[in-house]
Chains A and B, each alone.
Chain A
């Protein structure tokens, strides 16, 4: 089958409309307010702890994002938890909302491919997420300058931006999930609930589920010490099925130049290494490359799922 004209014809038009819709929707304003407030709280707490202790750190601005002060989590942990909610809010009714409003058949009767609708919706929401994240990061940096009284270093900025890009990929996973649900479930309320359930399981309960499953899959034999390693590795593998875990690992490495590895280091790996010496940004990126590509792969997989479902769908509501 040969198709003339780009499958993306109209995708940009749809993306811009979607982005404008999101930016003006009360739903988005509310959830962004929630994120801004808690982020400010987290960073403010971090500032307090930093000024209490020492200011002799070359990566102060990264510390802003990783240090937690009870009872608030760190900025990075907070994003890992709340960002999925933002992405779900942007995507849960992307496709079924068009059916509910009875606009789908009119939309698809325009001279565009179906592809453009899905790509446009995804792109539009990603634009909004990127804008929101950038705003958030600038705001937090501003807060840091204000209270720490010094500008961020170049390394701070480079690492911060790399971290923001990774954060966008993380949000993309959840957005793709929400859009997939919005394609496969006809009622927007149900698809929102489905996406929220996955979020709850993967962010809140996964930490408990992973060891349980690992214990069942790879039991420890008291006579064989290697089984302990096997169980640990199994548990890690299962835990990493949660994008939040992957994101947490990426954030830990990118925001902490001294961190060298995600898993516990064996002694020979540390030989010759200067403990506590900062790693170049590129090296840090290489360390988390598997996690990053894992998130991107998950995003592509979920999007493909939505794409296939949408292409086969009957237009009539």
Chain B
């Protein structure tokens, strides 16, 4: 067996004359966290539904853990947890009852389910309100209840559609920590989101959806590199020199953007800190700081979509 958790080839989905997904190939390795990005209507949710077998692809094939979600739906759904965007629960039932119901549907024995539900509710910090009706829950609490369901199900693959929408910053951080701990336990995670900092902080790779296709898939560094920026972003603070003109000629430097007074953001496809230091010193300036940063997803993202253009 290969360690491919998700393997989709040539996925197409047509709704009448509209083409929601126009040919998507997606391969995700076991244990990976992959972010699905892209403007509204780009086809992320539709792709997710096809991966789960909840929507039949017009063309193409899907393998999840080596199984076909259309031919072996129960086996696939047993292994895959799904948190839909704007997840709903039965309002007149308590949070705990809602989880108990899905546990029964998933065929988890009652004692084991009770144990796992308790642990999952603890983990998402809902134990205190677990016996209140869901009608009284806030949006973030529902979102966390959805995550508790995934924890309780104990799946090998989790597919999350905009799990952080509507969460306050603290809950977002907690949710990220949770997702990260799932990943550390070996769970494969697919995450659609519009919050680029969220994606940047937990995803190993990103897939950029544009008009029903994946325009790019890879690490953020690869993305930055590919769209003409650089994988290496260096924050330079110096006095007495104009770095914009000086460093433009240095080999490997892709761009220099002046920031606040005395600050420059240099993008390069390799670590050019030694060269920059030499330039500043040789130019008669004084160097205050050289800070190597990861490429920023939001910059790369914006640049990518400025380049390919999109009409959402």
Contacts and interface: CB of A to CB of B under 8 A. Distances in A.
Contacts of B88: 101-103, 106
B195 to A, nearest CB: 21
A9 B77 CA distance: 13
A316 B78 contact: no
Nearest to A10: B105
Contacts of A13: 101, 104-105
Nearest to B88: A102
B284 interface: no
A17 B89 CA distance: 14
Nearest to A24: B92
B215 interface: no
Nearest to B91: A101
A111 interface: yes
Contacts of A113: 73-74
B87 A106 contact: yes
A108 B72 CA distance: 14
Interface string A94-131: 00000001110111111111000000000000000000
A139 interface: no
A14 B84 CA distance: 20
A315 B46 CA distance: 10
B54 interface: yes
B275 interface: no
Contacts of A112: 74, 77, 105
Interface residues of A, number: 27
A5 B87 CA distance: 27
A10 to B, nearest CB: 5
Contact of A1 (B15, B71, B81): B71
Contact of B87 (A4, A10, A102): A102
B164 interface: no
A13 B102 CA distance: 9
A102 B86 contact: yes
A107 B98 CA distance: 11
- Of the candidates A3, A106, A315, the one having the most CB atoms from chain B within 10 angstroms of its own CB is A106
Contacts, number: 79
B257 interface: no
A314 to B, nearest CB: 6
A106 B82 contact: yes
Interface in B48-89: 49, 52, 54-55, 71-75, 77-78, 80-84, 86-89
Nearest to A100: B88
A233 interface: no
Given A13-B101, A110-B105, A105 B84 contact: yes
Contacts of B105: 10, 13-14, 107, 110-112
B49 A316 contact: yes
B95 interface: no
A54 interface: no
Contacts of B86: 102
Contacts of A1: 71
Given A10-B105, A13-B101, A110-B106, A102 B84 contact: yes
B38 interface: no
B210 interface: no
A113 B89 CA distance: 19
A2 interface: yes
Interface in A9-45: 9-10, 13-14, 17, 21, 24
B259 interface: no
B107 interface: yes
Contact of B82 (A5, A102, A109): A109
A71 to B, nearest CB: 39
B77 A17 contact: no
Contact of A111 (B87, B91, B92, B107): B107
A109 B55 contact: no
Given A4-B75, A9-B74, A106 B49 contact: no
A2 B73 contact: no
Given A13-B105, A111-B105, A5 B74 contact: yes
A315 B90 contact: no
Contact of B55 (A3, A110, A111, A315): A315
Contacts of B47: none
A110 B103 CA distance: 9
B52 A2 contact: no
A108 B91 contact: no
Contacts of B101: 13, 17
A107 B88 CA distance: 10
Nearest to A112: B105
B146 interface: yes
Given A4-B75, A102-B87, A108-B54, 4 more contacts: A2-B71, A102-B84, A103-B89, A107-B105
* Chain A to chain B: the 4 pairs with minimum beta-carbon distance, closest first: A102-B88, A109-B82, A111-B77, A110-B105
Interface of A: 1-5, 9-10, 13-14, 17, 21, 24, 101-103, 105-113, 314-316
Interface of B: 15, 45, 49, 52, 54-55, 71-75, 77-78, 80-84, 86-92, 101-102, 104-107, 146, 149
18 contacts: A2-B71, A9-B74, A9-B107, A13-B101, A101-B88, A102-B86, A105-B82, A106-B84, A109-B77, A109-B81, A110-B102, A111-B73, A111-B107, A112-B105, A314-B15, A314-B55, A315-B54, A316-B49
